[in-house]
Amino acid sequence: MESAQITFRRRLASTLLLWVLVLGTILSGYEQIFFITISGIGLLALWEYFVMLDRRGVPNFKLTALITAVIFMAGSFYAFRSYGPDKSYDFEIAVMVIFLLVVFGRQMFRRTRDQNPLETMAYTLFGLLYIVWLFNFITKIVYLAPRGPLGETTGQFYVLYLLLVTKFSDMGAYITGSLFGRHKLVPHISPHKSWEGLAGAILFAVGGSFGLWYLIPEKLAVFGPTDLLVLGVLLGLAAVIGDLAESIVKRSAEAKDSGGLLPGIGGVLDLIDSLLFTAPILFFYMRLVLGLPS
């Protein structure tokens, strides 16, 4: 069994490498590179989900879902970049409808592993919605913020804000939970989560929210102090819920980690589990509360 020190070092090395990748992608300003990075991460997480199902012997249409995921993310990126939110929504709904038709069609002509056909379709659809649809909100955030004077995107800085606040929430939950955690939050799902950790997650998220705005206020110009406070609380809470949601998935699949690609962290899905819930929260706050794009 690995010592806590070795695990910490591996986790630190993986985290630093990932932040270099993220910052390099965001600061490069190349929209295509951003899309490729986000899509690659989403597909890897979806693959890990289906691998967990396969190990448990749960029937699924893996290949159909992966092909649909590629079409979904590529088409949504093009539609949102070229035409804005409305066309993107139409495209995504069309893809989902076609996906359902294909899955039903496949199930009509194939009995999968003597399992209930409804289970096969439900597990496959859930993976697409839970991972690809939710994670794709990160790409959408890029195109909500107004473009710069030369037509360049500025939304990548709001993605940076999302990542930092979400990870501050994760860090706050871990630190305060480890030091002060006494009252269990949901022991039947995650025995290590505590109410103290939840409070720490929200406090750290609020701190990260104001901290990044203080460093680059001109890049986060659509936010005011009230927005920073509200978003810190909402994103901090959503990050904890996202982490617990993946715990439910892993517990159901009888898996400790979603994969082993990232030493000290686990799999890609373990890395983005909180973002699956915080990204939609930030998107809809910017869209419905702040009225972007205006």
pLDDT of 104 reads: 85
| Residue entry with tokens 């979400």 | 166
The string of DSSP letters for 195-208 reads HHHHHHHHHHHHHH
* Alpha-helix residue ranges (DSSP H) falling in the chain: 4-28, 31-56, 62-83, 85-109, 117-127, 134-135, 137-142, 156-180, 195-215, 225-253, 268-272, 275-284
The Cα–Cα gap between 100 and 49 comes to 19
The Cα–Cα gap between 256 and 242 comes to 16
The Cα–Cα gap between 238 and 275 comes to 9
Is the pLDDT score of 24 beyond 60?
yes
The Cα–Cα gap between 174 and 178 comes to 6
Bigger pLDDT: 105 vs 27 = 105
The Cα–Cα gap between 39 and 72 comes to 10
Q: What does the pLDDT look like over 126-141, one tens digit per residue?
A: 999 999 999 999 999 9
pLDDT of 262 reads: 80
SS3 state of residue 159: helix
Length of the chain in terms of residues written: 294
The structure's pTM equals 0.91
- Among 111-115, 124-128, 129-133, 245-249, the range scoring the smallest mean pLDDT is 111-115
| Residue entry with tokens 């069309």 | 94
The Cα–Cα gap between 165 and 159 comes to 10
Q: What is the mean pLDDT of the chain?
A: 88
| Helix (H) and strand (E) counts in the chain | 12, 2
For the purposes of burial, counting CB atoms within 10 Å of the CB of 151, is it exposed (0-12), middle (13-18) or buried (19 or more)?
exposed
